[in-house]
């Protein structure tokens, strides 16, 4: 990647080709974005499983240490990852308006902000890894193993966030498969490096559980470099131009306005998950183990619909950037219809997975499998609501600039309804663990109601008129 001086920015911008606009049917265009994103999520799940197997050979303490670190670090990764979604929305709008200079400026500012924010998060977390992990409440031996692991794995925050930004931009510029290919490459590399560094294969040192952390750092750095090459290399999808100070403010403001609600909702979601796990733990160890099985299996089936959120971000954003309000509404209808179908289909498969609990988890005990069986059925019944929330709360409302609606739905759904109800039903009524599962399902229903009310308030013609031709000045 090269930095271009302001004086040479115009010649580069005019030489850049416009984003590709292949003549595809609406269904194929939607699938061209959604399918690669969903497959990328599947690859991430496979990587998580492989790493669990590798670390699992070191014993229960190592597995618990990695899990403890994940419960803490995950909140920081997903919170800053919202910058990638915000960048995708703004790049889609600029691409839809045919504003290459806006694409260039948005990318440069987004990468700069991500570098600063991720760096500011990384330093205190690395230095304060011990107190943070002790606050999480792990046993002494688990915490001792987790501290060095966390100090290393947090070094992946900077390249990880930059990778999310580059991935989001590539999807908005018509190259949704590129991030998937980059993930495929890094999944293989990370698994090989993790195995080599954990066990000391060949000339590699034997680092134990810390070796798995270094593998994550190396893989995330490589992925960011690969994606950066795809954006700024021979394809010339964007030029790394340094905008003038006024342009920085003009880009950073909208980016943070879009990304801040997404960051808040991602943080609230991860915090809510952590607190639900704490409620299950208070109910009992059997309940906690069953809930983890349910959540793990649910993740396998929910990713089948995950890509529709990115499709909403890209396709609605492009239509708004082009001033095409009817087009934005048409994409909204197509994507929500697809979400209904995938939510029902994958929800049914998720429910059927309850029949596989005995062969998949033979050693957890009959009581755990019994709770997990009915927990799967409860969660599968509400999966269609969860998919709708992903699409509207994670894609449609942010694309329309309704950050307040996103925050309102997540806060009321989780912290006003879901968690208080889970605590009451789970700990103070005979329902016990079933009450916690029911509370999580009710949370999704409340959120879908709030998101739907906010969606109906969107003035699409006014929004399209505001976005059409709105140019971002870069380099002047």
- Is the pLDDT reported for residue 465 higher than 80? yes
Domain count, the chain: 2
User: Do 361 and 457 belong together in one domain?
Assistant: yes
Per-residue pLDDT band for 439 (boundaries 50, 70, 90) equals very high
Contact 142, 64 (CB under 8 A): yes
Is residue 126 within 8 A of residue 354, CB to CB? The reply is: no
127, 174: one domain: yes
Q: Return the axis-axis angle of helices 285-321 and 82-96, rounded to nearest 10°.
A: 20
How does pLDDT run across 154-163, given as a tens digit for each residue? 999 999 999 9
Helix, strand, coil in percent for the chain, rounding step 5: 85, 0, 15
Collapse the DSSP code of 412 into the 3-class scheme (helix H, G, I; strand E, B; otherwise coil) and give the result.
helix
Count Cβ atoms below 10 Å from residue 305 Cβ, excluding itself.
27
Structural domain for 401, as ranges: 258-468
> What mean pLDDT comes out for the span 322-340?
91
CA–CA distance, 291 with 413 (Å, rounded to integer): 20
The total of other beta-carbon atoms located within 10 Å of residue 326's CB is 11
Return mean pLDDT, the chain.
Answer: 82
**265 and 156 co-located in one domain:** no
Same domain for 273 and 223: no
Please indicate, yes or no, if residue 204 is contained in any of the structural domains.
Answer: yes
Range of 174-178, 256-260, 405-409 with top mean pLDDT: 405-409
Do 332 and 312 meet the contact criterion of CB atoms below 8 Å apart?
Answer: yes
Whether residue 11 is contained in a domain is answered as no
Residues 194 and 273 in one domain: no
- Residue 251 in domain: no
pLDDT at position 17, please? 44
Q: Is the Cβ–Cβ distance between 132 and 192 less than 8 Å?
A: no
At residue 12, does pLDDT exceed 60? no
Same domain, 281 and 310: yes
Q: Are residues 234 and 98 in the same domain?
A: yes
Question: How does pLDDT run across 237-284, given as a tens digit for each residue?
Answer: 888 877 776 667 777 777 877 777 778 777 877 778 778 877 887 787
In a domain, 474, yes or no: no
């Amino acid at each position: 990647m090269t930095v271009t001086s302001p004086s040479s920015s115009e010649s580069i911008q005019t030489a850049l080709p416009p984003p590709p606009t292949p003549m595809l049917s609406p269904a194929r265009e939607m699938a061209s974005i959604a399918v690669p994103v969903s497959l990328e999520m599947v690859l991430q799940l496979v990587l998580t499983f492989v790493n669990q197997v590798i670390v699992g050979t070191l014993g229960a303490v190592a597995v618990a240490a990695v899990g403890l670190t994940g419960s803490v670090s995950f909140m920081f990764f997903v919170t800053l990852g919202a910058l990638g979604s915000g960048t995708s929305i703004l790049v889609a709008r600029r691409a839809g308006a045919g504003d290459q200079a806006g694409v260039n400026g948005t990318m440069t500012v987004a990468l700069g902000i991500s570098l600063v924010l991720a760096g500011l998060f990384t330093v205190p977390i690395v230095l304060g890894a011990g107190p943070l992990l002790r606050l999480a409440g792990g046993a002494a031996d688990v915490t001792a193993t987790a501290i060095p692991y966390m100090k290393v794995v947090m070094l992946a925050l900077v390249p990880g966030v930059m990778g999310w930004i580059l991935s989001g931009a590539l999807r908005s510029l018509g190259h949704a498969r590129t991030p998937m290919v980059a993930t495929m490459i890094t999944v293989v590399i990370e698994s090989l490096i993790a195995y080599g560094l954990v066990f000391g294969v060949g000339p590699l040192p034997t680092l134990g559980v810390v070796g798995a952390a270094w593998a994550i750092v190396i893989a995330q750095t490589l992925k960011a470099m690969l994606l950066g090459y795809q954006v700024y290399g021979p394809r010339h999808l964007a030029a790394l131009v340094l905008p003038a100070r006024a342009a920085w403010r003009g880009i950073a403001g909208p980016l943070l306005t879009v990304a801040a609600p997404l960051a808040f909702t991602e943080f609230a979601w991860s915090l809510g998950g952590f607190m639900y796990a704490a409620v299950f733990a208070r109910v009992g160890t059997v309940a906690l183990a069953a809930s983890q099985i349910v959540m793990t299996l649910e993740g396998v089936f929910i990713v089948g619909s995950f890509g529709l959120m990115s499709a909403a971000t890209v396709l609605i954003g492009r239509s708004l950037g082009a001033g095409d309000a009817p087009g934005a509404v048409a994409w909204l209808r197509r994507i929500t219809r697809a979400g209904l179908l995938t939510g029902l289909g994958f929800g049914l498969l998720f429910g059927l997975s309850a029949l596989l609990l005995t062969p998949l988890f033979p050693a957890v005990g009959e009581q755990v499998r019994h709770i997990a069986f009915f927990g799967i059925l409860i969660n599968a019944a509400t999966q269609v609501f969860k998919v709708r929330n992903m699409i509207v709360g994670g894609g449609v409302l942010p694309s329309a600039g309704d950050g307040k609606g996103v925050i309102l739905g997540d806060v009321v759904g989780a912290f006003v309804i879901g968690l208080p109800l889970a605590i009451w039903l789970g700990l103070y009524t005979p329902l016990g663990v079933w009450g916690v599962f029911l509370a999580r399902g009710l949370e999704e229903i409340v959120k879908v109601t709030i998101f739907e009310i906010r969606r109906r308030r969107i003035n699409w013609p006014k929004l399209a008129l505001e976005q059409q031709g709105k140019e971002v000045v870069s380099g002047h």
